[in-house]
């Protein structure tokens, strides 16, 4: 497994940003105990200081709107149907390495699953909600947000509104003197920019702490704050490291905030408006989602998306269907081909020298991850166990929403992809038997 530093470098918005604190000195709390009472007792209160800590995360990840400022991603109507064709996956045993096998129930508990949904050929074959999670509740998706931003950038590029080879500074002059100014839009998309940015959570002065404070993470209402008021103030302060752009993959969350700034500068629309008009409404989403906002009302493009599992599945299925869904062409086919075609293997593990990057993952491109399995599945990934996993060979979408206490860990980042590939093989076998 990855060391804590490498965990942070890959994750983006990190739980360990929060000040340490014990959950409850008495009896263990469960999600049904939290935020109950008038007033809520301090030990049961979920706040921006504890919402990433277990058990508070079980409630917090489902109710970000009650903790931080947010903006609607309006779904509109009508809702596109999702048909069901249940498959018994509960009886299966899945190999996860070192001679160990798991059934789904055990794995879902170990990985702190809130929602788990599998689509096969556009139909729900498996759907579970655990520990009080409900289908209609939007769930915090963390860095899954990045893949939505990348998809929008690719779409505008296909339409001729963004040139991926132009520099960031040519779109955002305010970033000319920053680490991003001389990078191409494509280099930002692929996270091969050369940025001096520390995500070492052991250092209270690390850059990731300052990023987190802009979006209220760890916010103490009694403490004075004098830092940047928004991403637009913060991004220009980031400087280059001593290396050229394009030489190595370096996961730095502010890359995505740069992309969102370009999207808004080019279109004149906010990120929430773009997701709503170009994705959510055409998809026939079941529920409006929302985006977490920073101190000045700017959307947190690096990790602020909150959506339901079923709507996440609709988004994934639309990509597997060549961008066509709900009787309309939502994404250009060329964009879908790019998303589903892994690349950048050569620069992927240059900085990290980590086994996970060689054996489990395969690469990172256009704000999407790819896995090193026979189907070369691609995925949007967020910390604490958030996934939209796309297997184009099996025509399978997996959505997982979780509240794992670790930003990353074996049960989600290693066992998860192993299990999903085995589910894909099982579903393909059922197809052949019919």
pLDDT, tens digit, 9 for 90 and up, residues 217-252: 888 878 888 889 899 999 999 999 999 999 999 999
- Residue 358 has a pLDDT of 94
Ranges of beta strands (E only) in 158-311 are: 289-292, 305-307
Could you tell me the residue ranges of all domains in the chain?
A: 4-27+30-433
SS3 at position 290: strand
Looking at the predicted structure, is the pLDDT value of residue 25 above 70?
no
Q: Is the pLDDT of residue 208 over 90?
A: no
76-133, pLDDT tens digit by residue? 999 999 999 999 999 999 999 999 999 999 999 999 999 999 999 999 999 999 999 9
By C-alpha distance, which of 398, 313, 382, 401 is closest to 131? 401
The span from the CA of 434 to the CA of 36, in Å, is: 50
Q: Cis before residue 180, ω within 30 degrees of 0?
A: no
The larger pLDDT score, comparing residue 378 to residue 21, is at 378
Mean pLDDT, rounded, of the chain: 92
CA distances from 163 to 155, 167, 364 (A): 11, 9, 20
Helices (H), 340-393: 345-348, 355-359
How buried is residue 128: exposed, middle or buried, by Cβ count under 10 Å (0-12/13-18/19+)?
A: middle
Percent of the chain at pLDDT exceeding 90: 84
Measured CA angle at 100 (ends 392, 398), to 5 deg: 25
Q: Is pTM, for the whole model, over 0.85?
A: yes
Bridge partners (DSSP) of residue 117 are: 127, 399
Considering the chain, what percentage of its residues have pLDDT values greater than 70? 93
11 is catalytic: no
Residue (of 411, 409, 407, 376) closest to 394 by Cα position: 376
Q: Which of 11, 111, 115, 143 is catalytic?
A: 143
Average pLDDT over residues 19-29: 51
- Work out the average pLDDT over 188-207: 83
- pLDDT tens figures, 383-416: 999 999 999 999 999 999 999 999 889 999 999 9
| Pairwise CA distance, residues 356 & 364, whole Å | 13
CATH of domain 4-27+30-433: 3.40.710.10
pLDDT at 132: 94
Max CA separation in the chain (angstroms): 65
């Amino acid at each position: 497994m990855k060391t804590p530093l490498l965990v942070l470098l890959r994750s983006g918005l990190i739980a360990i940003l929060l000040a340490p604190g014990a959950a409850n000195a008495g009896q263990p709390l469960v999600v049904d105990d939290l935020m109950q009472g008038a007033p809520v007792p301090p030990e049961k209160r979920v706040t921006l200081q504890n919402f990433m800590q277990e058990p508070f995360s079980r409630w917090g990840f489902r109710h970000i709107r009650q903790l931080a400022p947010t903006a609607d991603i309006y779904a509109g109507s009508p809702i596109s149907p999702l048909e069901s064709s249940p498959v018994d996956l509960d009886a299966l045993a899945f190999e996860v390495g070192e001679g160990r096998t798991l059934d789904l129930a055990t794995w879902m508990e170990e990985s702190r699953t809130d929602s788990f949904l599998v689509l096969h050929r556009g139909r729900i074959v498996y759907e579970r909600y655990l520990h009080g999670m409900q289908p209609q509740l939007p769930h915090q998706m963390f860095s899954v947000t990045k893949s939505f931003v990348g998809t929008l950038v690719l779409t505008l590029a296909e339409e001729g509104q963004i040139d991926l080879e132009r520099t960031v500074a040519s779109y955002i002059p305010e970033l000319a003197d920053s680490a991003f100014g001389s990078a191409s839009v494509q280099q930002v998309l692929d996270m091969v920019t050369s940025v001096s940015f520390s995500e070492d959570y052991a250092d209270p002065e690390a850059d990731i702490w300052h990023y987190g404070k802009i979006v209220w993470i760890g916010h103490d209402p009694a403490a004075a704050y004098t830092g940047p008021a928004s991403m637009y103030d913060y991004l220009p302060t980031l400087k280059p490291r001593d290396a050229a752009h394009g030489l190595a993959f370096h996961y730095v969350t502010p890359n995505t905030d740069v992309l969102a700034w370009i999207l808004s500068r080019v279109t004149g629309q906010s990120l929430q408006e773009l997701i709503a008009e170009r994705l959510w409404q055409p998809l026939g989403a079941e529920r409006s989602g929302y985006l977490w906002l920073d101190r000045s009302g700017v959307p947190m493009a690096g990790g602020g998306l909150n959506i339901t599992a079923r709507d996440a599945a609709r988004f994934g299925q639309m990509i597997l269907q060549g961008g066509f869904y709900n009787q309309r062409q939502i994404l250009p086919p060329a964009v879908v081909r790019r998303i589903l075609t892994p690349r950048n293997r050569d620069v992927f593990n240059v900085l990290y020298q980590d086994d996970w990057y060689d054996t489990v993952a395969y690469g990172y491109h256009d704000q999407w991850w790819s896995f090193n399995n026979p189907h070369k599945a691609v995925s949007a990934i967020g910390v604490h166990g958030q996934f939209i996993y796309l297997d184009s060979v099996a025509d399978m979408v997996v959505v997982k929403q979780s509240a794992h206490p670790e930003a990353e860990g074996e049960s989600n980042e290693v066992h998860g992809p192993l299990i999903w590939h085995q589910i894909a093989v099982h579903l393909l076998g059922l197809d052949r038997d019919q």
